[in-house]
Structure 1
Amino acid sequence: MTTFSDYLIFVDESGSPRMGGDIDQQYPIFVLAFLLVKKTDYAQVINPAVSAFKFKHFGHDQVILHEREIRKDVGAFKFLKTPQIKQAFLDELTEMIAAMPVQLCCVVIDKAKHQAKYRTPVHPYHLGLQFGLERVLGFLEKNGEQHMAHVIVECRGKTEDDDLELEFRRICDAVPFTTSKVKLEVVFADKKSNSAGLQLADLMARPIGISVLKPDQPNRAVDVIRPKLMVMNGKTTGWGLKCFP
């Protein structure tokens, strides 16, 4: 019988991985966020907290907390068009995130610099996946894990999912993954999946991206997210936060 890791890994993105002439000059980066949570914390702390937040603000827990929809006041978040209501909502959301027992690794790729530096640049999603999985593996090994861990990603369409799975397996079929006792397995979650882990990864990805683009801009969300970035040798740079190139 397979023995499983004590951790789950949730992956979500901010920005488009497209390059060429499609780079958005207002947000020319691609962020891939890897959220690591202990299963006991996920069951006993995270899921109940997210549900309680939704019950308070929506009366039910079927709403998906999408960063983009919250930011733009659309869909289930149209009621946030009133500034005072939105500020109160964001304050509570930030407090909830601050209390979450999670570890975070964010890979931030500057697409324009990446494209300018390399004649045949690697696809940003593939590059982010490699950097992120390497750091996830290091974290799990550092914490004594020796079993299979599941990496949960949101479905993006058959072609994209097939491509991602192929790249995931290519990465895991090479060193250091082949020499580790930790094994990683990708799991695809339906876009309508009400996964608290995926929602938290989504909520954290863009604030980290903005903090890289505009490091001097005050950002309360980043202030509560930054302490959750993984640390190696006392530093988050290059570990919990990997910027490339």
Structure 2
Amino acid sequence: MYLCFIDESGSPPKPTQIERRPPYFVIAGVIIHEAQWHGISEELNALKNRPEFRVRGEIKWRYFGPQNTDHCNSVAHLDQAARDAFRAAFYAIITKRKAVKIIACVASVAAAYEQPYVRTQEDLYQMTYKPVSERFQYFLQDMERTVGSSQLGIMIADHRGKSQDEGLRHRHHRFVEGDAPVFSTYKNYIETIFLTPSHNSVGIQLADMVAGAIGRKFNSDERQFYDAIEPAFRRNGTRIDGYGLVKFPTKGWR
């Protein structure tokens, strides 16, 4: 059984906010086999408890910014050098495990809103989610061919709010049940999409940090942390585009 934890970088802007918000919106997924979850969780706890860090609470990408003043910031006591060292060690938990894979979709917000089926923030979110859900299915199919037996998976997302959760769950079921114009079937999926608060989920926190690194690369042209996670992307040979990293919309992305 594989678990795909997903989270987004920032929030999807409204159509009226395009000029004032970052040009790209990202949803990222971290794929973990069930047997590896405990090891990852234990290693993260050990990292947080290291004497030079002593981190308590949830790990979020936004906490690492020098200007973040969130009262819940778990790394507020660390200087920027220590924050960067913690972040590098955090990403190493992912990249040291060859079986852990990253998949993501980067939406060009302006181009997305030019599509007739993207009219609202939730349309943007859900259509950015769609390629991620498809790549998880493709990953499960790849593993099925590799090991010679059925490989099943569950999608787990961050809880955002009642209406947003209900909307995503409804769209997810449309994809999985084939009641939407998609190019893939989801025969390896189990159950619905599960939604949980990020502070209760190690996997969601991993996905948040991955989405943040990808968002920083595309929105600010800063590659440091993207390069740190790049080895973990799903790929075909050396190719990541279209396999581990998808752009939406396919036509008109800019």
Same-fold call, TM > 0.5? yes
Partner of 2:252: none
2:177 equivalent to 1:173: yes
Count of residue pairs the alignment pairs up: 230
Relative to the length of structure 2, the TM-score reads 0.81
* Secondary structure in structure 1 of the residue aligned to 2:74: helix
Structure-to-structure mapping, 1:1-245, within 5 angstroms: 5=1, 7-23=2-18, 25=20, 27-44=22-39, 46-56=40-50, 57-58=53-54, 63-71=57-65, 72=68, 74=70, 75-80=73-78, 82-101=79-98, 102-115=100-113, 117-121=114-118, 123-144=123-144, 146-174=150-178, 176-177=184-185, 180=187, 182-185=188-191, 186-193=193-200, 195-215=201-221, 217=222, 219-232=223-236, 234-245=238-249
Q: Distance in 1 between matches of 2:69 and 2:85?
A: 14
Contact in 2 for aligned 1:172/1:184 (Cα 8 Å):
no
Letter in 1 for 2:54: F
The answer as to whether partners of 1:31 and 1:209 remain within 8 angstroms in 2 is yes
Letter in 2 for 1:220: Q
- Counterpart of 2:197 in structure 1: which amino acid? D
TM-score using structure 1 length: 0.84
Contact 2:23–2:110 (Cα < 8 Å) also in 1? yes
| Deviation at residue 93 of structure 1 after TM alignment | 3.3
Cα RMSD after superposing both structures: 2.3
CA contact (8 A) 1:156 1:191 kept: no
Q: 1:130 to 1:92 in 2, by over 3 A?
A: closer
The runs of 5 or more residues in structure 1 that have no matched partner are none
1:73 shift after superposition: 5.9
Amino acid at match of 1:197: G
**In 2: Cα distance, 1:98 partner to 1:73 partner:** 30
Q: Percent identity?
A: 24
* Alpha carbons 1:109, 1:244 under 8 Å: kept: yes
Q: Which runs of 5+ in 2 are unaligned?
A: 250-254
Q: Distance in 2 between matches of 1:41 and 1:166?
A: 30
Matching residue's letter, 2:44: V
Q: How far apart in 2 are the matches of 1:14 and 1:24? A: 18
Question: How big is each residue's C-alpha offset from its partner over 1:188-225, in whole Å with a ceiling of 9 and x where there is no partner?
Answer: 113431x221111100112112223455x4x3211121
Q: How far, CA to CA, are the matches of 2:142 and 2:88 in structure 1?
A: 34
Tell me the CA shift for residue 142 of structure 1: 0.8
Deviation at 1:26, TM superposition (A): 5.1
